[in-house]
Structure 1
Amino acid sequence: MWLPATSGQTVKSAAFNVQVFGKSKTQKRDVMQILVKIFLRYGGAIIEEIRDKTEDAITALLAEINAASQTDNFTVTGPASMQTRRKDFERPPDCFSLTLKKSGVKMGYLAVHVSPRSVFDEMEALYDVASECETYAGTSNLVILGDMNADCSYLTKEARDKLRLKKDSRYKWRILDDMDTTVSPQKCAYDRVIVKGLQMERRIPKANPFNFTKEYRLDLAKVGCLVVLHLNT
């Protein structure tokens, strides 16, 4: 979901694993209030683990966000029309394009939630899908983001260093290996933001985790994990 930015400002976008977001979660008032508060911090967000084929849950969340915002500008972008190679992924990535209004710079966004059971194989397949996303979006400016389970027991440093996304110097990892993107006692950089292209290197100089459980003093079981990227428009 996306909110247009004021010209010239730095926009914060997020990738958020809401952990099984469906109708039952929308009926929990405390959870919905927390989610609205979190999403209002950002100009755009990739939401992962939506479990509702009717789309009623995401529609309800959007309505609450708009009701709480100053202007009714949030919109939901559904699955992209680019056909990813589904056989390579438990949850196929979504690719879509965005254009910065002020500068006219176009970029591709590739959102992914990698299966913890096959992290290395899916990350290798993601390298190929990244090229397909560039073609679909019509630009070499690319942002790859989401819960990649790219650390700790799911993907060791030795295995991570063998990834083409790591060995190819054109890809810059903005969530570093020593960062903690979890809301659990274990310190792991599962969620990642990876950029490609000189424009993206300059316009997205950093990304960082946001520990909203500490910010809002939350029960860890209520919501999921979130990482933030800073986009200079």
Structure 2
Amino acid sequence: MKIRNLLPLLLIFMLLTTLFSGCISLGEIINGSDVNTSPNTSDNLTNNSNVSTNVSNETNKSNGTNETNGTNDTNETKVCGICGEDLRPTTRVNVSAFNIQIFGASKASNAEVMDVLAKTIRNYDIIGVQEIRDASGESLPKLVQLVNSGTDENGTPYNYDYVVSSRLGRSSSKEQYAYIYNKDKVYVASEPITYPEPDGADPFEREPYMVTFRSNIGNFDAVFILIHTKPDDAKAEINELNHVVEYAKTIYVGQENYVIMGDFNADGSYFNESGSSDLKSEKYVWLIGNNMTTTTKTNNTYDRIVITKSLEPYVTGNLGVYNYSAAYGLNATQTTAVSDHYPVYAEFFAWVAEWGRMLFIKTESGVSA
């Protein structure tokens, strides 16, 4: 096509960019750092209207265990249409996945460890926690209570809640998944469910745990799928995650936005991170690259955040690994007392204009799987 034929389209694009300045960066390249030592700051926003959404508790049919947040399941939807200022273009949703390594009564009784965990969690609006091993069920509520203690730099009280799975695993060493989320930024928009494995099959040591989150302001809307693979079966379990997404599409009809995250064990002797995988098709984007170190004792990239292509325009480019050791001045002993993993994170725009989203999809983003 000749250049003069493109001029009208370029003029229209420049006009729209001016009108919607700040709501999307079409040319931004996602370039995550290896280890980030600076906390992400979450915006605490208020408004004049709210809509209540009730979220039911799931009952795990295999053992009768309720999957619940253990607290008030009514969440407020903040509608920006009547705000004095349109906050959608500037609002962000910070997402993280964190394997906190054998989190139970012993770790919950360590005040120093709990302080680090609470401060780390406050950097994010949705954090998928793995390896909760507390049969009493007391450690997670204790952690969330600590997260909510005190106020942010603006004097606003923290407002986090959680949803948690049943205890999962083939052996007696059961684990739970949990999503801890900032109610001032997002809300639970679907019933949390554990992936029901096909009859006669048992592909996962711990079946993935999924739920929909939506931003209170804007149009960010995605199903989150949390996974902690069995190391020796990492390759097979990672490949099986594509089937989990396809199953989820039959439950969340019409939903195309998915975030798959957690401890994939996607490196070292467990998984060829440069090799092929069913989860590396053109449908997916791996946000945490192979060059990033996600463990505190090795150079491996076990932990990942993978999104479906439809979510790519929402990615701000701020992503990577959060080094709580450097951020809080911990020595080696203090670091390993917290976990053998660092949390991985990615930041998303809370709102992307439809025209911008379509243009972004049709342009080269610079993100590689």
- The TM-score normalised by the length of structure 1 is 0.89
Q: Which amino acid aligns with 1:48?
A: Q
After TM superposition, give the deviation of residue 81 of structure 1 in Å. 2.2
Q: Is the 8 A contact 1:17 1:48 kept in 2?
A: yes
Structure richer in helix, relative to its length: 1
Structure 1 Cα separation of the partners of residues 43 and 214 of structure 2? 11
| Equivalent position of 2:320 in the other structure | 208
| Equivalent position of 2:277 in the other structure | 163
Q: Please state whether the residue corresponding to 1:110 is helix, strand or coil.
A: strand
1:123 aligned residue (238, 244, 254): 238
Query: 1:133-148 counterparts in 2 under 5 A?
Result: 133-138=248-253, 139-148=255-264
After TM superposition, give the deviation of residue 82 of structure 1 in Å. 4.3
**Is 1:182 matched with 2:323?**
no
After TM superposition, give the deviation of residue 4 of structure 1 in Å. 8.8
- Bigger Cα displacement from structure 2, 220-229 vs 65-74: 65-74
Q: Is the 8 A contact 1:183 1:220 kept in 2?
A: yes
Q: Which amino acid aligns with 2:95?
A: S
* Aligned residue pair count: 226
- Bigger Cα displacement from structure 2, 11-20 vs 218-227: 218-227
Structure 2 Cα separation of the partners of residues 57 and 232 of structure 1? 32
Q: Is the 8 A contact 2:205 2:230 kept in 1?
A: yes
1:229 aligned residue (337, 346, 350): 346
| Equivalent position of 2:164 in the other structure | 78
After TM superposition, give the deviation of residue 209 of structure 1 in Å. 0.7
- The TM-score normalised by the length of structure 2 is 0.58
Query: 1:51-70 counterparts in 2 under 5 A?
Result: 51-69=133-151, 70=156
| Equivalent position of 1:22 in the other structure | 104
**Judging changes above 3 Å, is the alpha-carbon distance between structure 1 residues 38 and 194 closer, same or farther for their aligned structure 2 residues?**
same
Structure 2: state its 5+ residue gaps: 1-41, 46-86, 166-191, 351-369
| Equivalent position of 1:89 in the other structure | 204
Structure 2 Cα separation of the partners of residues 222 and 169 of structure 1? 39
CA offsets 1:14-57 (integer angstroms, 9 cap, x no match): 11110000111111111111111111111121111001133210
After TM superposition, give the deviation of residue 208 of structure 1 in Å. 0.6
Q: Is the 8 A contact 2:195 2:208 kept in 1?
A: no
1:49 aligned residue (110, 131, 136): 131
Q: Which amino acid aligns with 1:50?
A: I
Q: Is the 8 A contact 1:96 1:137 kept in 2?
A: no
Q: Which amino acid aligns with 1:201?
A: E
Q: What fraction of aligned residue pairs are identical, expressed as a percent?
A: 26
Q: Is the 8 A contact 1:147 1:192 kept in 2?
A: yes
